[in-house]
Amino acid sequence: MTEEAVTIRSKIKQLRDLRYTQESADFSDLSDGLNECDDFKALCLELAEEAVEREHQAKAVEERIKELQARKQRLLHSAESLRTIVLQCMDIRSEKTIPSPCLTLSVSAKKPDVVITDESAIPSRFFIPQPPKLDKKAVREAVLQDGEVLEGVSLGNGTISLTIRRK
């Protein structure tokens, strides 16, 4: 094994060792010497495996976030239910306050809410003007699919991408 391959392998090992502590880093130094290595294909496969592993971890984190957000909503809903029970019971008993060393409960009247029944009947001065937003998808379609030439639009350079398929 060449010295460059050993160096690349040690960098890949370091990358894996730091997987949980250094999730976002500049890996540009990994390409130094990679093109000249005898083990080029094997090293590329190892790097691709690491990329796939990180993508899987990101997906797992995303799923966990969704689970935690759902749990957060359940907790907030149950907290609101408990507050409603206390409020209703205090209202029925005409209790205005309940003091304790830790907290004090108070019942107070709120201002009435405004309920919109017909938005189209409301004068325009109550609407917030919105600036127009560019529909980039429609522009892309018009230029790339329909061949339309638009002022203020040019074609950028295409890029290449890497596809990794698991077997």
The DSSP-derived string for 62-114 is HHHHHHHHHHHHHHHHHHHHHHHHHHHHHHHTT--EEE-SS-EEE----PPPP
- Is residue 56 one of the residues assigned to a domain? yes
d(CA 70, CA 65): 9
Q: What is the pLDDT of residue 96?
A: 94
- Is residue 98 one of the residues assigned to a domain? yes
pLDDT top residue among 22 and 62: 62
Whole-model pTM: value is 0.59
- Is residue 25 one of the residues assigned to a domain? yes
Q: If we measure between CA atoms, which residue out of 166, 139, 167 comes closest to residue 155?
A: 139
- The answer, yes or no, to whether residue 162 has pLDDT greater than 80, is no
Q: If we measure between CA atoms, which residue out of 41, 32, 26, 24 comes closest to residue 7?
A: 32
- Is residue 135 one of the residues assigned to a domain? no
- The answer, yes or no, to whether residue 29 has pLDDT greater than 90, is no
- Is residue 57 one of the residues assigned to a domain? yes
Helices 40-92 and 3-17: crossing angle in degrees, nearest 10, is 10
- Is residue 95 one of the residues assigned to a domain? yes
Residue 125 Cα to chain centre, angstroms: 36
d(CA 166, CA 164): 7
How distant, in Å, are the alpha carbons of 27, 92, 164 from that of 167? 26, 66, 10
Which pLDDT tens digit goes with each residue over 45-92? 988 988 898 899 899 999 999 999 999 999 999 999 999 999 999 999
Question: What integer is the mean pLDDT of 7-16?
Answer: 76
Q: What is the pLDDT of residue 23?
A: 60
Which pLDDT tens digit goes with each residue over 101-159? 999 999 998 888 899 999 999 999 999 999 999 999 999 999 889 989 899 998 888 88
How distant, in Å, are the alpha carbons of 25, 82, 162 from that of 19? 10, 42, 21
Q: How many domains does the chain have?
A: 1
- Is residue 152 one of the residues assigned to a domain? no
- Is residue 42 one of the residues assigned to a domain? yes
Enclosing domain of residue 90: 3-111
* Amino acid type, 28: S
- The answer, yes or no, to whether residue 10 has pLDDT greater than 90, is no
